Amino acid sequence: MKNKHLVLLFISVLVLGLLAKRLSWPANEFFQDNLIKVETARIAQISIEQYGQPDLLLEQTETDWIATQDGRTTVVRPEHIEPILAAITALHSIRVIKRPRLDTLGFYEQNYLRIIVKQDDGSVREFDVANETLENGRPASYVLIKRYGEVFLVENHLRGIFSKKLNDFRHKKVADFYPQDVTKIIFDWTETEEGNVQYPIFKNDSTGKWEPLGAAPPEISADSIQTWLGLFSRLNNAPFADYFDESRARETLLSQVEIGLSDADSLVFRLFYVRPPDLPEEISTAKIKTLPVYVLHSSQNPSNFFAPPDTHLLRQIFFMFKTPTVTQNDLNDK
């Protein structure tokens, strides 16, 4: 090849390279780090839609992320929102799926997840997540980006990240304390005619013995108290009692236990007995059959009510030491 031909070839390649850099090819946009072009700090709202479920809305406030679904709201802890934000802001494309059969990839109403992201300037980004697969042995997902009208195979399995319900963000901790830190226990049992019956038990600092404030028994063994305190941890992860009518808490209260700690505020656990006539009128007969009879509330998780299925456990916790020898009037006289 002659030298002048080599020079012309070199110049041609150089010109084409410069043109390629200057031209804004739509296809080049598909392989940027963030396919939907959002910044974490600017995300104001995330809506997750999935078949058969009320829409889940995640909103950023000045201090927290808040989740709302079916009229209920809860604060979202950082460890729960961070994977969602990371997935949105780092949709790495592996390749574009040419002429896809959408149904075979999972893009049909009963299967796909629709994610709508709203930024603080009001701009909206939307994408659908369908089936997951493996690409060269690595996890991948099929995603439809609405602004491009293209289906992409993107890195990572995404369905588990976005397929959420409100309960996935709600805190299920009912009781979290160290039994050795407890210094007093006050039982309060509701009576229909005589008023409330209270039964305080205090730990004697000098002897280490537990002494009820009443006639009998004169003391309760430390082993019995420690065994009883250990029952509280079994309340954790109980189902939520979402149909409990909080406006009738006072009249349905059955028992209360206050636990005093040596270096923190007292904890209060309340047990409610929900008689069938007291259920909200809008609840259907079918739902009544599945509703709990006993509902539990903890001051350590004030936003939620719980329905522990183990009624024997609840009776042990709230009534094991029931010795109604001390009434409210007796306490007022001391």
Chain segment 108-122, per-residue pLDDT in tens: 999 999 999 999 999
Average pLDDT over residues 14-23: 49
User: Residue 130 has which token pair?
Assistant: 């369908």
> With 50 as the cut, is the pLDDT of residue 100 above it?
yes
User: Which pLDDT value is given to residue 14?
Assistant: 56
Closest C-alpha to 115, from 101, 128, 96: 128
pLDDT on residue 233? 95
Write the CB contacts of 129 (distance below 8 Å, at least 6 apart in sequence).
112, 113, 115, 141, 142, 143, 158, 159, 162
Ramachandran class of 289: left when φ > 0, alpha when ψ lies in -120 to 50, beta otherwise: alpha
Of the candidates 168, 192, 227, which is a domain's last residue? 168
- Give the side-chain half-sphere CA count within 13 A for 167: 10
Closest CA to 144 of 173, 172, 106: 106
Handedness of CA 144, 145, 151, 154 (dihedral sign): negative
Domains of the chain: total:
2
Task: State whether 158 and 233 are in the same domain.
Answer: no
The confidence band for 25, taking pLDDT boundaries of 50, 70 and 90, is very low
pLDDT of residue 12: 58
Domain assignment of residue 9, yes or no:
no
196 is a domain residue? yes
CA-to-CA separations, 122 to 21, 41, 42, 62, 255, in angstroms, rounded: 31, 14, 10, 17, 50
Q: Name the range with the highest mean pLDDT among 10-19, 119-128, 277-286.
A: 119-128
Asked, for residue 14, whether it belongs to a domain, the answer is no
Same domain (yes/no): 328, 188 = yes
**Domain shared by 280 and 232, yes or no:** yes
The residue range of the domain holding 123 is 26-168
Rounded CA-CA distance 103/86 in Å is 27
Report if residue 101 sits inside a domain.
yes
CA distance 157 to 308: 34
- Residue 294's CB is within 10 A of a number of other CB atoms, namely 21
Could you say which DSSP state residue 54 is in? Answer: P
Question: Does the structure show a pLDDT above 80 at 258?
Answer: yes
Answer yes or no: do 186 and 161 share one domain: no
Domain presence at residue 119:
yes
Does residue 106 lie in a domain region? yes
My answer on whether 198 and 220 are in the same domain is yes
- 43 belongs to a structural domain: yes
Q: 3-state class of 270 per DSSP?
A: strand
**CA-to-CA distance for 59 and 48, rounded, in angstroms?**
11
Would 201 be classed as within a structural domain?
yes
- Residue 99's pLDDT is 87
The answer for residues whose C-beta is within 8 angstroms of residue 270's C-beta and 6 or more apart is: 249, 253, 255, 256, 296, 297
Do 300 and 325 sit in the same domain of this protein? yes
56 near 69, Cβ under 8 Å? yes
Spacing of C-alpha 81 from chain mean position: 10
Q: Which residue has the tokens 């659908």?
A: 128
Q: Are residues 314 and 198 both part of a single domain? A: yes
Q: 207 and 112, same structural domain?
A: no
Q: Do 206 and 248 reside in the same domain of the chain?
A: yes
Residue 219 sits in the same domain as residue 324 = yes
Boundary-marking domain end, from 124, 148, 168 = 168
> What predicted TM-score, i.e. pTM, was given to this entire model?
0.67
Q: Is residue 151 located within the same domain as residue 217?
A: no
Q: Are residues 307 and 284 in the same domain?
A: yes
Of 118, 139, 168, the position where a domain reaches its end is 168
Q: Residues with Cβ < 8 Å from 302, sequence gap 6 or more?
A: none
